[in-house]
Amino acid sequence: MENFVYNGNPGRVIFGRGTIARLPEEAERLKARRILVLSTPEQAEQASAIARHMGSRAVATYSKAQMHTPVEVTADAMRYVEQHAIDALLSVGGGSTTGLGKAIAFRTDLPQIVVPTTYAGSEATPILGETESGRKVTKSDPRILPEVIVYDVDLTMTLPVSLSVTSGINAVAHAVEALYAKEANPIISLMAEEGITAIARALPRIHSNLGDEDARADALYGAWLCGVCLGSVGMALHHKLCHTLGGMFNLPHAQMHTAVLPHAIAYNADATPAAMARLGRALGAADPAAGIFDLAKGLGATMSLKDLGMSDGSVDAAVEQAMSNAYWNPRELEKRGLTDLLERAFRGDAPKTA
């Protein structure tokens, strides 16, 4: 076995059904007395209902979270933090709300309790991606990592099939990159394979039966594992491309990750045979890139970036930005190869595999 370094991020996880009933005791553990409840506009009602578990501790609500965490939204939310003397945050929802909570925590070091309602997985990472002036920039810092995650399977039971699929594939992307990250290690690789396996097993069952409790639990469990993977090792080509596209075109987050992932896997496949072997085993596919494409498309996901809102004639500009200040990647970033990758993803073609 080769030498490796493993860093375990601190954090408390409550997993199960009906676990939101434990929110008051988690707030007490953090000595939180004045909590700001965060959500998107679409989940404001759900967030308010969950916040009622906190009683008088929930002193204010901010329901304007947006995907890709625009800095102007964070600045607006910071005014609520100051006006209400907030001493803790409760984020209810998916990656957009979690991102806003992280952005506030990065600026204030306030403790965070996150109640995920999708399979985003970002709640398990100390990574924040913020968008300003059409560019999404990521940073990692201990202040960004939430202190407590309360996973309640019951909250995911009505998550629409379409969002369940793309949210799940988005989580898979975290683990895929962890398998071939520069800092990859045996512990994270075990978690990555287990997380991908759980989600790949769950999504077809959710597609067939929205109310399959065991499948919902598998998907949420897998999403957590995949998030831990991303939070423990670095990112590579897939996340760089998605951060570029998200910042430039404001594409829907989970759907964009779903459309790009098969092509990023295909680009790196020959350079990462051990990672591809694990990924193929997790997916039950001889060709992992084709396997993830077929899984997503077969479950109804939109696989064309054009259909998601990317502009005609914009591939070259996206490639230029992605290659500037690029993340480490197992295969050298080549302009021609990246252009072909994004053109295929733009059209919604199957990945180009060896």
| Distances, alpha carbon 333 to alpha carbons 40, 47, 268, in Å | 36, 42, 10
pLDDT score for 138: 86
Q: What is the pLDDT of residues 78-94, one digit of tens each?
A: 999 999 999 999 999 99
pLDDT score for 354: 59
Q: And the tokens for 52? A: 């009622």
Residue 176 and residue 142 share a domain: no
Residue 109 and residue 95 share a domain: yes
| Distances, alpha carbon 107 to alpha carbons 113, 173, 275, in Å | 16, 28, 36
Alpha helix stretches (DSSP H) within the chain: 23-29, 44-51, 71-83, 95-108, 161-179, 186-208, 213-232, 237-249, 253-268, 273-283, 288-298, 315-323, 335-347
Q: Quick check: 123 and 145 in contact, CB under 8 A?
A: no
- Is 353 part of a structural domain of the chain? no
Residue 149 and residue 179 share a domain: no
Residue 329's CATH number: 1.20.1090.10
pLDDT score for 8: 83
Q: Quick check: 153 and 18 in contact, CB under 8 A?
A: no
Residue finishing a domain among 137, 156, 175 = 156
Q: Which residues of the chain have pLDDT under 50?
A: none
Residue finishing a domain among 125, 156, 187 = 156
Q: Quick check: 53 and 76 in contact, CB under 8 A?
A: no
Q: Which residues of 342-354 are buried (b: 16+ CB within 10 A; e: fewer)?
A: bebbbebeebebe
3-state secondary structure of 211: coil
Residue 175 and residue 89 share a domain: no
Residue 135 and residue 264 share a domain: no
Residue 134 and residue 203 share a domain: no
pLDDT score for 212: 97
- Is 207 part of a structural domain of the chain? yes
pLDDT score for 13: 97
Distance from the Cα of residue 288 to its chain's centroid: 20
Residue 175 and residue 278 share a domain: yes
Q: And the tokens for 192? A: 């990555």
- Is 121 part of a structural domain of the chain? yes
22 burial type by CB count under 10 A (0-12 exposed, 13-18 middle, 19+ buried): middle
Residue 234 and residue 126 share a domain: no
- Is 2 part of a structural domain of the chain? no
Residue 181 and residue 88 share a domain: no
Residue finishing a domain among 132, 156, 180 = 156
- Is 52 part of a structural domain of the chain? yes
Indicate whether this model's pTM tops 0.75. yes
> What range does the domain containing 21 cover?
12-156
| Distances, alpha carbon 299 to alpha carbons 86, 156, 203, 302, 346, in Å | 42, 18, 8, 9, 19
Residue 239 and residue 318 share a domain: yes
pLDDT score for 303: 98
In the chain, what's the furthest Cα-to-Cα distance? 59
Residue 260 and residue 324 share a domain: yes
Q: And the tokens for 261? A: 């992932």
